[in-house]
């Protein structure tokens, strides 16, 4: 990246690219540099009357998000973004939360807000323009604020370009991760924009979409383990091997098995990125060739304190070459540019007055041949005892189905009881087909704790996109790994029960077709293929006006899961909800 190609320069230089230069690709065609600047001008006009110094931005479409961001920066204001659309920031943004709570969360917005509570010291703004504040929950689940200056963002982009710029030339950047995040934003939007490449505006919910995109563009894929773990075998892999420039993955470590699978499918290694919202990108590796992490150019890593915590020195954190940021991750330094990760120092808890490492218990459980993955959490509301969340091997699932949960509990407790004091052993156990992960592929403490509180577990899927056309509605839904109704359906192989699929069809139909009030009867139903945790499915709802009938269909790109027809009593005076009661 040339020195002149900084964010500060491009933000204010309307002639930086030619009018017809392609900034982004959308489903209906390219977005030119000229059209992008028109969008920026439109947002500036809308925000001109905003007196606040901060602008909260949430926009699902990437080119609209970037236009809002550009307008905010051109006006000399600070952008505030949150991956979850500011749903969990009551303590830091109470006024914004109240405004959004008064009406359904809009699909996208840019709103003036008062400075967030707990705002960190201003980031380095020697580049004359303030940049942004990001909300991050990390592993704790508690929202915190991180400040970023344009200078810090430029430093990270410069490192990315120096390492991989040549390899991504001529490609379109495709994201399966959110751009409201310090991975999706720099890798998926800012880097392609600043180097003159194009990005695809929509976040890709289906891996099957890669076939269509690769038939028109050479692609750079910005993704995470949650997507790479579930790649369909039916993709046009010869095409993708030819048309994929590079694959980036971040948010969590990629398993060796998934890394090997991706190498076979794409005929190229996945470039894993290690970093955080606070640090930006720190290091990279490519399994199976690399087990160790390689520092990015200009980044240094050292050990700090008795717990071998990692300390980071990076221009993406501070201009001061003597400034080091100590983080909660621990690791071993193998050379000035190579290190390995060992765990987190903040995972030491007290149970019954005894200190214990949650990571140590997890590692002990994972040593057993019945356990594929283990996570342990402290449960303050259950007398501060420990809960274990496990994914079992095929042998473990066979025992779970044959002998039941108590038998598996007993085997695992016996296996680890000599390593730990009795009081710190897990008291509560949950068995899943896969760990619950968020959009960045991270297993959060909140999601694990919620598994031990049925009232907190989701009863509805995550809505990725909604399209309403005349008499039908189409929703793209992601099935949560920790869906309440997976309990008991079935051990080791959870599926969405058919009655839950009916409930979802009715629930979402009533949002768009309020005349569908009282359920009368189910006229037809057909279940063809099961729906499982992590699946992304399309729900199509059709309601011919005045008919009182609803037709629904759950499908995936390669499969139809279920379909049916429901009859309602039309035009009645009150709404009678159909509820599913789950006995935990």
Q: Which of 483, 507, 506, 509 is nearest to 496 (CA)?
A: 483
Residue 574 Cα distances to 546, 549, 570, 579, angstroms: 17, 18, 11, 16
Q: Which helix (H) or strand (E) covers residue 560, if one does? A: strand 559-570
With a cut of 70, say whether residue 435 has pLDDT above it.
yes
Judgement on whether residues 388 and 524 belong to the same structural domain of the protein? no
Judgement on whether residues 380 and 473 belong to the same structural domain of the protein? no
Count: domains in the chain: 3
Domain of 217 in residue numbering reads as 7-344
Q: What percent of the chain has pLDDT over 70?
A: 91
Global model pTM greater than 0.85: no
In a domain, 582, yes or no: no
Q: In the structure encoding, which two tokens stand for residue 121, read together?
A: 């010291």
In a domain, 440, yes or no: yes
Judgement on whether residues 271 and 384 belong to the same structural domain of the protein? no
When mean pLDDT is compared across 152-161, 194-203, 505-514, the lowest value belongs to 505-514
Residues 8-34 have a mean pLDDT of 93
Judgement on whether residues 86 and 205 belong to the same structural domain of the protein? yes
DSSP state of 319: S
Show which of 303, 327, 344 is a domain's final residue. 344
With a cut of 90, say whether residue 135 has pLDDT above it.
no
Q: State the CATH number of the domain containing residue 371.
A: 3.30.300.30
pLDDT of residue 127: 46
Judgement on whether residues 308 and 364 belong to the same structural domain of the protein? no
Judgement on whether residues 389 and 484 belong to the same structural domain of the protein? no
With a cut of 80, say whether residue 129 has pLDDT above it.
no
Judgement on whether residues 11 and 153 belong to the same structural domain of the protein? yes
With a cut of 70, say whether residue 138 has pLDDT above it.
no
Judgement on whether residues 321 and 360 belong to the same structural domain of the protein? no
Place of tokens 């990390």: 138
For CA atoms 400, 402, 403, 404, give the dihedral sign.
Answer: positive
In a domain, 374, yes or no: yes
What distance in Å separates the CA atoms of residue 130 and residue 147, rounded to the nearest whole number?
9
Judgement on whether residues 387 and 263 belong to the same structural domain of the protein? no
In a domain, 580, yes or no: no
Residues 22-29 have a mean pLDDT of 94
Give per-residue pLDDT as tens, 466-519: 777 766 888 889 888 888 888 766 766 789 999 999 999 999 988 878 788 788
Judgement on whether residues 86 and 171 belong to the same structural domain of the protein? yes
Show which of 317, 344, 371 is a domain's final residue. 344
Residues pairing with 542 in the sheet: 472, 551
């Amino acid at each position: 990246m040339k020195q002149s190609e900084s964010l500060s320069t491009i933000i204010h230089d309307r002639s930086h690219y030619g009018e017809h230069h392609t900034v982004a690709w959308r489903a209906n065609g390219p977005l030119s540099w000229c059209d992008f600047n028109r969008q920026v001008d439109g947002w500036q006009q809308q925000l001109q009357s905003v007196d606040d110094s901060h602008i909260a931005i949430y926009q699902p479409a990437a080119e609209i998000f970037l236009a809002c961001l550009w307008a905010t920066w051109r006006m000399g204001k600070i952008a505030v973004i949150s991956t979850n659309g500011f749903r969990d920031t009551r303590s830091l943004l109470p006024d914004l939360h109240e405004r959004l709570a008064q009406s359904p969360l809009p699909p996208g917005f840019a709103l003036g807000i008062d400075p967030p509570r707990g705002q960190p010291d201003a980031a380095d703004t020697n580049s004359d323009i303030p940049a942004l504040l990001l909300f991050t929950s990390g592993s704790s689940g508690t929202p915190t604020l991180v400040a970023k200056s344009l200078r810090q963002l430029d430093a990270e982009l410069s490192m990315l370009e120096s390492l991989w710029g040549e390899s991504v030339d001529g490609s379109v950047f495709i994201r399966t991760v959110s751009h409201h995040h310090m991975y999706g934003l720099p890798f998926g939007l800012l880097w392609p924009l600043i180097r003159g490449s194009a990005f695809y505006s929509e976040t890709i919910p289906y891996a099957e979409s890669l076939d269509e995109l690769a038939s028109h563009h050479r692609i750079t894929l910005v993704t995470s383990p949650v997507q790479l773990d579930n790649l369909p075998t039916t993709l046009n892999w010869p095409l993708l091997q030819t048309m994929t420039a590079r694959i980036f993955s971040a948010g969590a470590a990629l398993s060796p098995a998934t890394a090997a699978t991706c190498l076979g499918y794409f005929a190229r290694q996945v470039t894993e990125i290690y970093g955080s919202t606070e640090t930006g990108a720190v290091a990279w590796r490519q399994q199976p060739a690399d087990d160790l992490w390689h520092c990015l150019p200009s980044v240094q890593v050292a050990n700090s304190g008795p717990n071998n915590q990692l300390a980071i020195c990076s221009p993406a954190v501070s201009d001061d070459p003597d400034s080091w940021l100590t983080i909660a991750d621990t690791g071993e330094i193998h050379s000035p540019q190579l290190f390995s990760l060992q765990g987190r120092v903040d995972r030491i808890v007290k149970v019954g007055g005894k200190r214990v490492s949650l990571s140590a218990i997890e590692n002990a459980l994972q040593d057993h041949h019945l356990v594929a993955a283990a996570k342990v959490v402290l449960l303050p509301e259950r007398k501060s005892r420990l809960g274990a969340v496990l994914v079992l091997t095929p042998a473990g699932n066979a025992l779970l189905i044959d002998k039941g949960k108590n038998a598996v509990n007993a085997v695992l407790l016996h296996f680890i009881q000599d390593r730990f004091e009795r009081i710190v052993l897990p008291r509560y156990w949950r068995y899943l087909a896969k760990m619950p992960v968020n959009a960045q592929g991270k297993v959060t403490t909140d999601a694990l704790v919620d598994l031990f509180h049925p009232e907190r577990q989701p009863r509805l899927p995550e809505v990725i996109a909604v399209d309403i056309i005349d008499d039908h509605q189409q929703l793209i839904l992601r099935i949560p790994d920790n869906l309440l109704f997976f309990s008991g359906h079935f051990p080791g192989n959870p599926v969405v029960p058919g009655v839950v699929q009916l409930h979802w069809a009715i629930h979402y139909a009533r949002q768009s077709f309020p005349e569908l009030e009282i359920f009368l009867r189910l006229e037809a139903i057909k279940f063809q293929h099961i729906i499982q945790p992590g699946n992304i499915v399309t729900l199509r709802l059709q309601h011919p006006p005045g008919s009182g009938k609803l037709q629904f269909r759950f499908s995936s790109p390669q499969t139809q899961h279920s379909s049916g027809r429901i009859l309602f009593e039309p035009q009645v005076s009150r709404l009678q909800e159909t509820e599913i009661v789950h006995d935990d």
